[in-house]
A and B are shown apart, each in its own frame.
Chain A
C-alpha cells in the first residue's frame, strides 16, 4: 500500500475530527453544549482504550493469555463505586476549580506547591512510556501497511526519514491545536471531548470489523477458531491462566493497577472529572462504559489465536490486527483498522499531553515564574498568551521525550509491558487521593512522603532497569544490586524473587508508599490551610449545599486584583468575570477600594481554573496581605460548619425528646388525677367510716335517754358498751389518719424497748375477743410459750398486730371464720404469720394493697373494707423496725400476711 494513501487517509480523518471539534466549540460559544450528554460522556471515557488496547491486547494475549482482560476488568469493577467516588471528586473539583490530578492533590493538602511539583513530575515521567507506545504503535501501523510482506523495515538513515519522528511531530501539532486553542478558566474543551467520543466509536467499529472478518471470514465462527486453537500447544496454552503462567497475585495486582488507572491517569482524571459537564451523567456512564470495554474485548482472543495460527514468528503479534486483513487481501479493511488504531493513539496522546501540559505549566513553570518575579509584578506582558505558549512548549517537550524513550527503550518491549510501567506510576497517586477523600487526618507531610517513596521505588524497579537493558545506563545495578548490595536488586528488592517485574514493583512501591503516607500523617500536624481543605474534601457535601467558607482574612486592592486577572485570563474574559460578580453582588468595584474577602476568593477561584490552585494562591498572595489567623479561629469556624450540619440532627433528637417529655407529662398528669380520685375516694370512705359509728352511738344513746326506765339493766349496759366501742372506733380512725402524717414526717423510731411479740399478740387477741365472738370467728394461737423478742416501739407493734387482726377479721369467711396466728424464729428473724380463710386477694391487687388509699374494689368484694390506711401504716411501721411485710394468697383459699422482724439476740 502506498505511503501517500495512508498519510492522505490519516490527514482526511484528522480534518474530520477538527471539523467536529470546531462545530462543537462553535455551538458551545452559542450556549449549546453538545457534549452535555451521558452517552458522549461515557464514550469520551473510552479514551482509556488506546493503541495498547487496539494493537497491544492482541500481542499481550499471545504471551500472557487471558491476563490482558485484567486491564479492563479493573475499571469495570470500580464502576459501581463511581456513584460515590467519582461524584465526590467531581463535586470537589467543580467547587475548587481543580483542573488536574496534580491540582487535586495539591489543593487537598493545603494548596501545596511542593505536592503540585511532585505529582506533575511523577505524572510526566510516569506517562512518557505510555505516550511512547502510542507513537510506536502508529509507526508500526504505517510500516505494516506500507511494507507488508516486504521483509523487515530497514533502520532509517536519518531522523528526517524516520516515520516515527514525523508521527511525533504530527501528534504534537494535533495536540497543540486541540488542547491549547484558548485558555478557559475551567479547562473545559468541548470540541476535544466530542472528537474523543467520536474516535471511540471509530475504534470500536473498526476493531469489531476486523474481529468479525477474522472470526467469520477466515474461520467459521467462535467455535471453529477456539476448537482449532486447542489442537496446537502454543495456542492451547493461551486459553487458561495456569498454562499461560498467570498467578493469582499477578492477576490481583493487574486488576488493582487498572482499577486505580481509570481515575488516576492524568487523561482519565481530565476527561472524567475536569471535562465532566454534570455529575448526573455518572449513573449512565457506570454501565455504558463497562459495556464499551466488554465489546471492544470480545474479538481480542480470536484475533490473537488466528494470528498465532496463521503467521510464523516473523510478524509481530502487536500488528495482527492489520496483518490478518492484509494477508487475506482485505487492504481496505486493514486501512480502516489503521484508522481505528490511529484514533486510539491520537485521542490518548492529545488528551494526555493536554492534561500533562496543564499540570506542567500550572505547577512547575508558573510557580517558578512567580517566585522569580518574571510574571506577577506590575510590568507584566500578557500572561494569558504566555501561559498558552508555556503549554505548547511543554507538549512539544513531552512528545520529544516520548519519542526518545520509544527509540531507545520502547523498541525492546511489547506495547503492554511498557504501558503497565505507566500504570504503576499512576497508581502511586492512589494513597494520597483516596486517603485525601476519606481520611481527614492525612497531612501534607504524609502525602509528600508516600509519593516520594512510591516514586523512587517505581523508578528504581521499572524504568531504570529497562533503560539499563537498553544500554543507556550501566547494567550492574540490575544484576548485582545497587552499590553491589544484593538486597537492592530492582527485580528482586529485599530478596523478593519469583514475581514478574510489574507485580514486584507494584507491590513494593504501593506497599511502602501507603505505609509512609499513613505513618507520617499520623505523626505530623496539619497546617491550618491543610485542615480547612481536608474538611472540604472529606465533607464536600456540606459545602456545596451551603455557603462558601472563606476563613482566610485577606485584604487586597480591587485594582490589583483586576490587574492580576487581566494578566492571566486576558482583558475581555477578566472584564466579563468582574461584570458577572458585580451583577451577582450588586456593587461597583472602585479600583482604590479594599476588596472584600469574598471578591478575593472569587478572583482566586477563577484564577485557579487557569493556572491551578497553588499558583493562583501564590499570585493572590503577591497582591494580598493575609492577616494571621489563629488555629483556634480555624477550629471555631470549622466547628460552626459542623454545627450547622449537626443542628438539624440535634433538632430531630430534640423533637423526639419533646415527644417523650410530653408523654411523661401526660402520664404524670394521669397519676395526679388518679391520686386526686384516690383522695376523693379516701374522704368519702373516711366520712362513711365516721358516720357509721356515729349512727350507732346517736341512735343508742337516744334510746337510753328516751327509754331509760323501760330498759332492763342488761340491755342498758350492752348499749352503753356499744357506745363506748363505737367511740373507740372513731378515735382509732382519727388516730390512723393522724398516724399517716406522723409516719411521713418521722422515719425514725422515737422509743426503743425490748418487746416480746408473743405477749403483744396475746394481749391484742384478748382485747379483740369480743369482736371475734360477734363475727363468729375462731382464733388459733401458737402453742409455744417462748418469748419472741424484738427491738422496737411497743405501741407501734401493737398497732401492727391490731391492724393485721382486724384486716383478717374483715376478710374472714363470714360463716365460719377462722384466723390462724403463727410465730416462728427463722435465722436472725422473727416471723409473724396471720392467716384468714376468706376469699383471698386477687393477683393484681397484691402489690397494691400496701399502698396508701388502696382498697379492694372488686365486684365480689363489694364495699371497700376499712379506710385503706391500715396496711399502709402497718408496712411503714414494719419497715421502721427494719423488717418486711408480704402477703401470700390463693383466690378462695384466704390470705396470709407475713411480717419479718429482726430477732433481738442477747
Chain B
C-alpha cells in the first residue's frame, strides 16, 4: 500500500518535471493573454494548482485506508 503511493508520487514527480520544463514550456511561451492573463503565467499557475490538488488526493487516500 505504502509502496503503491511511493510509486505514484515518483511518477507524479517525473510527470511534472516534464510539464514544467522545456520543451513543453515552449508551447505556452507566447505573447497572448488568456482570460486576461499572460499565457505562460496562466500555464504555470494552472500546473502548479494541479500538482497541489493531485498530491493532496494521493496522500489523502492513505488516511482512509
Task: Decide if A and B are genuine partners.
Answer: yes
Using a CB–CB distance below 8 Å, which chain A residues touch chain B?
66, 69, 73, 76-81, 83-84, 221-224, 226-227, 230, 236, 239-243, 248, 251-252, 255, 283-284, 286-287, 290-291, 294, 298, 301
Q: Which of B40, B41, B51 has the most CB of A within 10 A?
A: B41
Among the listed A84, A284, A301, which residue makes an inter-chain contact with B6, where contact means beta carbons less than 8 Å apart? A84
Complex contact B59–A284 (CB within 8 A): yes
Complex contact A290–B55 (CB within 8 A): yes
User: Main SS of chain B's interface residues?
Assistant: helix
Among the listed A83, A239, A242, A290, which residue makes an inter-chain contact with B38, where contact means beta carbons less than 8 Å apart? A239
> Is there a chain A Cβ closer than 8 Å to B1's Cβ?
no
- Per-residue CB contact flags for chain B residues 53-65 toward chain A (1 = under 8 Å, else 0) read 1011011101100
Using a CB–CB distance below 8 Å, which chain B residues touch chain A?
5-6, 9-10, 12-13, 16-17, 20-23, 25-26, 29-31, 33, 35-41, 44-45, 48-49, 51-53, 55-56, 58-60, 62-63
User: Main SS of chain A's interface residues?
Assistant: helix
Tell me how far the C-beta of B18 lies from the nearest C-beta in chain A, rounded to whole angstroms.
11
- A525 CA to B21 CA, complexed, in Å: 39
Residue of A nearest to B47 (CB): A73
Q: Given A252-B21, A290-B52, are A283 and B41 neighbors across the interface (CB < 8 Å)? A: no
- A230 CA to B59 CA, complexed, in Å: 41
Complex contact B55–A80 (CB within 8 A): yes
- The 21 listed contacts between A and B (C-beta, < 8 Å) are A66-B44, A76-B51, A79-B51, A79-B55, A81-B10, A83-B9, A222-B37, A224-B36, A227-B33, A230-B33, A239-B31, A240-B39, A240-B40, A241-B25, A248-B25, A251-B25, A252-B21, A252-B22, A255-B21, A290-B52, A301-B41
Kindly list the 6 A-B residue pairs having the minimum CB-CB distance in the complex, ordered from nearest. Answer: A223-B36, A248-B22, A283-B59, A287-B56, A239-B38, A80-B9
Measured between beta carbons, the chain B residues less than 8 angstroms from A236 are: 31
Tell me how far the C-beta of A259 lies from the nearest C-beta in chain B, rounded to whole angstroms.
9
Tell me how far the C-beta of B11 lies from the nearest C-beta in chain A, rounded to whole angstroms.
9
- Additional A-B contacts beyond A226-B38, A251-B25 (9; CB < 8 A): A66-B40, A69-B44, A80-B9, A83-B9, A221-B36, A226-B37, A230-B33, A239-B40, A287-B56
Measured between beta carbons, the chain B residues less than 8 angstroms from A79 are: 51, 55
- A653 CA to B12 CA, complexed, in Å: 33
Measured between beta carbons, the chain A residues less than 8 angstroms from B22 are: 248, 251-252
Complex contact B21–A80 (CB within 8 A): no
Complex contact B30–A240 (CB within 8 A): yes
- A283 CA to B41 CA, complexed, in Å: 27
Q: Given A84-B6, A248-B22, A286-B55, are A241 and B48 neighbors across the interface (CB < 8 Å)? A: no
- A286 CA to B58 CA, complexed, in Å: 10
- A221 CA to B55 CA, complexed, in Å: 30
Tell me how far the C-beta of A558 lies from the nearest C-beta in chain B, rounded to whole angstroms.
42
Tell me how far the C-beta of A298 lies from the nearest C-beta in chain B, rounded to whole angstroms.
7
Complex contact A73–B40 (CB within 8 A): no
Complex contact B51–A290 (CB within 8 A): yes
Tell me how far the C-beta of A287 lies from the nearest C-beta in chain B, rounded to whole angstroms.
4
Residue of A nearest to B31 (CB): A240
Complex contact A73–B44 (CB within 8 A): yes
Tell me how far the C-beta of B51 lies from the nearest C-beta in chain A, rounded to whole angstroms.
6
Complex contact A286–B17 (CB within 8 A): no
Measured between beta carbons, the chain A residues less than 8 angstroms from B25 are: 241, 248, 251
Complex contact A227–B13 (CB within 8 A): no
Measured between beta carbons, the chain A residues less than 8 angstroms from B52 are: 76, 287, 290-291, 294
- A230 CA to B25 CA, complexed, in Å: 20
- A77 CA to B25 CA, complexed, in Å: 15
Q: Given A73-B48, A76-B48, are A243 and B31 neighbors across the interface (CB < 8 Å)? A: yes
Complex contact A248–B13 (CB within 8 A): no
- A248 CA to B23 CA, complexed, in Å: 8
Q: Which of A84, A284, A287 has the most CB of B within 10 A?
A: A287
- A81 CA to B23 CA, complexed, in Å: 23
Residue of A nearest to B38 (CB): A239
- A819 CA to B52 CA, complexed, in Å: 87
Residue of B nearest to A300 (CB): B41
- A80 CA to B40 CA, complexed, in Å: 23
Residue of A nearest to B19 (CB): A77
- A240 CA to B43 CA, complexed, in Å: 12
Complex contact B21–A251 (CB within 8 A): yes
Among the listed B16, B37, B39, B55, which residue makes an inter-chain contact with A287, where contact means beta carbons less than 8 Å apart? B55
- A762 CA to B51 CA, complexed, in Å: 92
Complex contact B40–A77 (CB within 8 A): no
Measured between beta carbons, the chain B residues less than 8 angstroms from A226 are: 33, 36-38
Tell me how far the C-beta of B44 lies from the nearest C-beta in chain A, rounded to whole angstroms.
6
- A301 CA to B22 CA, complexed, in Å: 21
Tell me how far the C-beta of A301 lies from the nearest C-beta in chain B, rounded to whole angstroms.
6
- A83 CA to B6 CA, complexed, in Å: 7
